[in-house]
Structure 1
Amino acid sequence: MTNPPRIERQPTSLGLGAWQLAWLAAAVFVVSAGYGALMPLLPAWLAPLMAADGQAEVARHVGLLSGLYAAGVLVGAPLWGLVSDRWGRGRILVIGLVGYVTSLLPLLWPDWIGLAGIYASRGATGFFVAAVVPVVPALVAEHTPQDQRARRFAWLGAMSLLGFLFGPGLNAAAAQMSTTLASVGAGTFDPTNLVIVTSAALGALMMLGLATTLPRVAPAAVDDNIQPQSGDRRRTMALWGLNGAVMFVLSGFELGIVLQGQQHPTLSSREISLMFAECSLVMLGVNALLFFTGLLERAAGRGVMAAGLVLAIAGLAMLAQHRSDGWMYIGVSLTAAGTGLVLPTISYLAAGASRRRRLGATMGGLAAAAGFGQTLGSAAAGWLFGAVAQFSFAWLALPLLATLGTLIVRPAWWSTESQPPHSPRVSPAPLPK
């Protein structure tokens, strides 16, 4: 019997070095920061281009540009994931970052490219960012022993959140840089252009770093057939659906926080900003918890997701019934903690549920499901909060309740452990990577 030893064997050349992992995490950080930095600047940046159209028209274009970026991710993620399975992940990452940098630079000349060019640029940016979002976790999963995978996925999630938090800080740094350059006689520079140049420069730096440090050869295939194909696709699709549902709720929840300022006059824009910061910091703290404790390696993923769903449902229920700002802060924390538990767990389980030769397609589908859920959630929540106001938070909990039910009644959908058809039991050897 040679199969059991072969299942247990771990190739020693698969591991990513510290610098390789750092460059991959930095790439996720940079594309997240670029989005978070540019989006708040769009209204003021577009206003001079359409001064005769009024603020309502500017707001409409900002919304459409945001939706086009999400559509680029939605279309690009599964496509780049599939291509990376055939051409190699490192090559696709570099192509994605080249496209990311190239798509940003035309924004330096908005008068020349016009409104159509701005739309094309934002859509292209989303499309090329989609070559980074699914391929980085696929590459990490492919080159990481299973007993280290959970911590590394938590680390990637934390870097993405840090990027979103860093984005507004990049705006402040660009404004200060513009003032400093003017004061020393170096000329007048638009802060928005400085943000674009800085984002592009960081993207170019990531491109060079990844091109020189990533593994040149993919790890050799290790018995993909030891994981039966039966149920593999079903588990993957279940995780895609869960990811889309959670992002649907998360985007609606975030939009609901913004709209609370209209429904509660005592809630200032400063407090709304604090709630957004609280949401990001709580999710970041949960990722840190997963990283330092190795929780996903110690507990069943289904149990971790169930706990996260319960927390998020409790937070949404509290938001639907809150009578004071203090209770709203608690509801935001619970919802953020719950979704912060579920999302990295989904990525971790998806990496384990897929065979290596389909990792790119699996992670691409996961990113596409997230983009679809986010787009649909924003649109649905806008209508929902206009119809039933604060009680919309309770309606947003329904998809999470339905998902919690499937965790209970369909446990096989969320398990990544598979038994070979000729063996009654296989020791907890890692799945092929």
Structure 2
Amino acid sequence: MTVSMQARLPTSRWGLGAVLASAFVVALGYGIVLPVLPMMVERLAGSTDPAFNARQIGLLTAAYVAAPVVAAFLWGKWSDLIGRRPVLVIGLIGFAVTLAASALAPSLLVLYIGRILNGGFAAAVGPTALAFIADTEGGAGTEGGDDRRTRAFGWMSMASIAGFLVGPTLGGLAAELKFDLGAATAPPQAVPFFLASGLALVAALGVWFALPGKLPGARAEVSKSGSSMFAPGELRLLVLATVAAAGLGAFEVGLTLRNVELTMGPAALGLMFATCSVVMFAVQGLVFSPLVKPAAARLLVAPAFLVMAIGLAVLPTLAGLTEMLFAVSVVSASAGVISPLLAYWVSHISARSQGMELGIQSAAVSLGLSVGSAAAGLLFGYNCLQGAAFLVAAAAMGLAAIASLKLPRPLAPARHEARPIPADQTDAAV
């Protein structure tokens, strides 16, 4: 591989703010559904069977996160070809439209279609926004590049967490309110959907005006002949990202269904997800602060997997809100360390273009979320296996902790290698 690279163009304050707002809105649109999804399923399916509803909730969540398995890679590759800005705008507009359509779904089948399309358009935002940051922030081989890019990746993750914090809280509050809207109007659960849809349109406008149409001054020539498909350690990172996402998906759906099982109500569920988000936000603020260097942060992955396994294992034994809030904090703190660190290191060591690479990683994460969400819904659908959803996820996290013990060795050389950026990406990007 031969690389010639000039200095990157630093991201502007407005441009970075626009991509952070995009991540926030997409996370809000996802999280806002979780507290109201049980009521929507019961209303559209006309069923009060807990086992049937649990399976539908798990499958609906899986449908949303399964779409990016294919779409994320395509969006990432497309953003390499035509630029980051148009892909982000198209994704946000499509997300807004499909979110509003899901709120008005007249049947369970239409809700499934809406959630699949909603997830497909959401898949355009995450990898493309991260690719924009990777394009514009310094990388390995530049002064302070590792620190700047690590912090920017951390901000992206924190923006998503903030959206996930607002989403379930807003959805839970809306579900508790009683509106006399009339038989011909949308149900009360639709109100947060429309709000998130409007915010997505505003974010699309912000992206269009804040992001530049081109990224001048950064060029690279890359020859990939004879290079392997994956860089050393990259495949292991992708597998770990998939496993971590599966555990998180099982945790989210399992927590929703555990809340129904204990009849705590949507407001309590919103509080638990809010706690989850606040803890993640605080942990990532520390891990991605100047106090922790990127090279040292990777050492936290294995302990975080182990702590996450312990938290998941004890969740099915808890029934009180205070106890569950503590376990939720443990799981969310661990997940807040694992996910963004793996995203950073995949971007750091791969030789592929940023859009394609982050699209591949997003697809891997979506696959894990889909499998974890569906498995949790199916296991909760059987009375004798309800706790198994958390236990299976805990076992997977334990195995991931063992597998991640060898991460420092393959990742260490990456700190001294220059990150290549394809010329076609920098000409058309952003």
1:217 CA displacement: 1.3
Q: Counterpart of 2:330 in structure 1: which amino acid?
A: L
CA distance in 2, matches of 1:398, 1:189: 42
1:58 CA displacement: 5.7
Alignment pair present for 1:93 and 2:81:
no
Structure 1 gaps, min length 5: 419-427
Query: Given that residues 168 and 274 in structure 2 are in contact (C-alpha distance below 8 angstroms), is that contact kept between their aligned partners in structure 1?
Result: no
* Paired residues for 1:99-114 under 5 Å: 99-107=94-102, 109-111=104-106
Taking structure 1 as reference, are residues 193 and 209 closer, same or farther at Cα in structure 2, changes over 3 Å only?
same
From 239, 249, 252, give the equivalent of 2:250. Answer: 252
Alignment pair present for 1:208 and 2:196:
no
Structure 2 gaps, min length 5: 140-144, 422-430
From 234, 239, 242, give the equivalent of 2:240. Answer: 242
Alignment pair present for 1:151 and 2:151:
yes
1:178 CA displacement: 9.3
Q: State the match for 2:24 in structure 1.
A: 29
Taking structure 1 as reference, are residues 417 and 50 closer, same or farther at Cα in structure 2, changes over 3 Å only?
closer
Q: State the match for 1:199 in structure 2.
A: 196
- Residue aligned with 1:40, SS: coil
1:125 CA displacement: 1.0
Alignment pair present for 1:19 and 2:18:
no
CA distance in 1, matches of 2:321, 2:37: 30
Q: State the match for 1:402 in structure 2.
A: 399
- Residue aligned with 1:140, SS: helix
CA distance in 2, matches of 1:24, 1:415: 29
Higher helix share: 1
CA distance in 2, matches of 1:188, 1:241: 45
Taking structure 1 as reference, are residues 228 and 349 closer, same or farther at Cα in structure 2, changes over 3 Å only?
farther
- Residue aligned with 1:141, SS: helix
1:345 CA displacement: 0.3
Q: Counterpart of 2:237 in structure 1: which amino acid?
A: L
CA distance in 1, matches of 2:325, 2:48: 35
TM-score normalized by structure 1? 0.79
From 62, 75, 81, give the equivalent of 2:70. Answer: 75
* Paired residues for 1:220-239 under 5 Å: 220-224=218-222, 229-230=227-228, 232-239=230-237
* Paired residues for 1:218-367 under 5 Å: 218=215, 220-224=218-222, 229-230=227-228, 232-258=230-256, 268=264, 274-293=271-290, 295-297=292-294, 299-316=295-312, 319=315, 329-355=325-351, 358-367=353-362
Q: Deviations over 1:20-56 (max 9, x none)?
A: 11110101111111122234334444555554x5555
Query: Given that residues 74 and 367 in structure 1 are in contact (C-alpha distance below 8 angstroms), is that contact kept between their aligned partners in structure 2?
Result: yes
- Residue aligned with 1:432, SS: coil
Q: State the match for 1:424 in structure 2.
A: none
Q: How many residues are treated as equivalent by the alignment?
A: 406
CA distance in 2, matches of 1:254, 1:407: 23
Alignment pair present for 1:119 and 2:112:
yes
Q: Which moved more, 1:253-262 or 1:203-212?
A: 253-262
1:389 CA displacement: 6.0
CA distance in 1, matches of 2:316, 2:43: 39
Q: Which moved more, 1:319-328 or 1:152-161?
A: 319-328
Taking structure 1 as reference, are residues 294 and 209 closer, same or farther at Cα in structure 2, changes over 3 Å only?
farther
Taking structure 1 as reference, are residues 107 and 354 closer, same or farther at Cα in structure 2, changes over 3 Å only?
same
From 365, 368, 371, give the equivalent of 1:370. Answer: 365
TM-score normalized by structure 2? 0.79
CA distance in 1, matches of 2:321, 2:166: 26
Q: CA RMSD in A?
A: 3.8
Greater C-alpha Rg: 1
Which structure is higher in RCO with an 8 Å CA cutoff and minimum separation 6? 2
